[in-house]
Structure formats: C-alpha cells, structure tokens
Amino acid sequence: MSKKSYILVTGGAGYIGSHTVVELIRQGRTPIIVDDFRNADRKIIAGIESIVGTKVIVHEIDACNQAEMELIFQQYPFDGIIHFAAYKAVAESVAEPIKYYSNNINSLLVCLTLAEKYAVKHFLFSSSCTVYGDPKDSVIVDEKTPMQTANSPYGTTKQMCEQILSDVVRSSAHLKVLKLRYFNPVGADESGKIGELPNGEPSNLLPYVTQTALGILEQLTVYGNDYNTPDGTCIRDYIHVTDLASAHVKGLEWCETQSAKTDEIINIGAGNGTSVLEIIHTFENISGKRLNWKYGERRVGDVEQIYADVQKARRQLQWSATRTMEDAVRDAWNWEQKWRNETTGN
C-alpha cells in the first residue's frame, strides 16, 4: 500500500479482535486498537507484538465515551472501522440485560456518529448467529433465513445493532457496511502467544474444557443431554479464530471494492456442526487427558443446533475456513498451557 491504511479496531485486545489485529498487520494495515481492558488482559498486547515483530498502537478508551473517541478520529485518517467492542456472554445477558443494551448499542452509536462526521467509508460489524434465534425450518442457516426472536438480550442487541446500521446506510451517501454474522469462534493463534482469555469463569465451551483439564475448574457441566441431536447435546458451528480473523481482512478488502453505499450480511462459519460431546472427546484424544464432566439441566438461551451456509462468504469474499476442529482444540490447549505456565512461573 502506498500510504498507511489506518483501521480502527474497537475491542482490539479481546479474543477475536487481537487475532484480527495480527491479520491486519500481516496484510500491511495499521490497526489502531481502542480497548478499555474491562474484558481483556494487557499482556495480550505483548503477545500480538511478539507475533508480528512490531509495536502496536493502543488507546485505552471506553468505546462508549464519545469525547475521547473523537480525539482518536481527529488523530488518525481512518480507512475503515472494525467494531468488536461489546459484551458477549449469553447467560450473563439474561441476568443483566441493561448492562448489555447500554454498552452494546451505545458503543455502536458512538462509532457511527464519528464515522459520519469524519467520512469513514468502510464499517465492519461484529455480528452473531444469535440473530437467527432458534431456526424454524432448517438448522443450516443462510443470510436469508428469517430472524426469530433472539434467545437472549445479547442476541437482541445484535439484531438491534444490525437494524441501526441498515437505517444509517439508508440515510448516508457514502457508508459501506458489512455485517459478519459469525458462529462460534474457538482455538488460538498457532504460536500460543494469544488466545481466548475469559475474565472469571468461562462462558464458552472450549476454555472451560481446557481449564478443567488443568484443574483450574473442578468440573465441566454439559447443559442438557436430551436435545434432538445424535448424542443428545447441543450442536454448534465452531470456527477457528484465525480463520475468523482472516475473514475480517477479506471483508474489509471487499468493502473497498464497492462503488456505492452498501449494506451487506455474510455468514462466517465452518459450515458444519459439532456437538458438545464431540468436542470433549476430541480434546481427550488430542491431550491424552480425561476430563471431569457431568450432565446438567438445559441452560436458558441455548439453541439446540445451528450451523452456517457459507456459500456467500466463498462467493463474495473469496474466503472459507481452512482449519479443523482438531486444529482448534490443539491450538487452544497449547495456548492454555503456555499462558498458565507464564502466569504461575512453572
């Protein structure tokens, strides 16, 4: 690129954000991370820098703080925005809906207000398969699958944010929006230097598995064994986080090829389903460890099974997932062990 391509990455120290920052740098972009580290660890920045071999630019700001965010827009001529900053735990959103509506919607409104003011043309939004709710006609969903009522306030915030983006595109002469509806990110960078790092007890399956294997958590609970699936446990489309990160770079490149204002939705997933039990067995095979787990009651907000039709991503973004569930489990386990060794000094 002939000039620096500055890309604002809100939540860029988080799980998906940090991996996307790595991919942006590898593609010659200059990501500007905005993160207040409420759901991230500052050590992740050192991990990013170790992978890419250069310093990264970080501003410790709450993305809901418009005054502080505007200073960032004044400092950098952004070519695009990738908006990750949001709370994302389904169960927590059921317990604390106001927290989710306030943060997830306000952070988007701030970014859009400033994108309009400073004429930033390209906007990638971190959406989710939760917008589909519990699919009625097929467990394989494409972008035209009708949205159902979301199973959680988290899912509802994603639906609302998508609607806000569509309304803004209709009113704007220049904005090009790509909503990436992705499924269940898993794994870690193959270097083991960055990965998923939950605050407190994990809400996602794979870090719960790896922490149980190390004895950090006593026991894994599988929520429900009476679903209408082959082994009775929920089925999800799990996508390696590095594949997901590369989809954002491809998405940004696609936005830049659009000649008129754009409002596009694309599913990002592996395109196949894996059950909770299958992940447990895969982990035990790869790690050689037996997990301490039990069945529990179904969890409020959980969808029985869902996975992505990914043809549109292949066609429009020239993107598809290349890593397997085995890759994801191996990388997550590698990351967990390295992180715990560094943290404890063992």
Q: Which positions are catalytic?
A: 154
Contact indicator for 193, 50 with CB cutoff of 8 Å: yes
Give, in order, the Cα–Cα distances in Å from 323 to each of 37, 88, 205, 282, 302. Answer: 29, 24, 18, 15, 25
- For 287, residues 6+ apart whose C-beta sits below 8 A from its C-beta are 213, 333
DSSP string of 110-144? Answer: HHHHHHHHTT--EEEEEEEGGGG-S-SS-SEE-TT
Buried-exposed string 301-339: b where 16+ CB fall within 10 A, e elsewhere: bbbebbbbbbebbeeebebbbebebebbbbbbbbbbbbb
CB atoms within 10 A of CB 84: 25
Contact indicator for 23, 34 with CB cutoff of 8 Å: no
> Which pair of structure tokens corresponds to residue 156?
């509802």
Tokens 């699919």, residue located: 135
Q: Is the alpha carbon torsion for 180, 224, 87, 152 positive or negative? A: positive
Rounded to a whole number, what is the distance in angstroms from the first to the last CA of the chain? 43
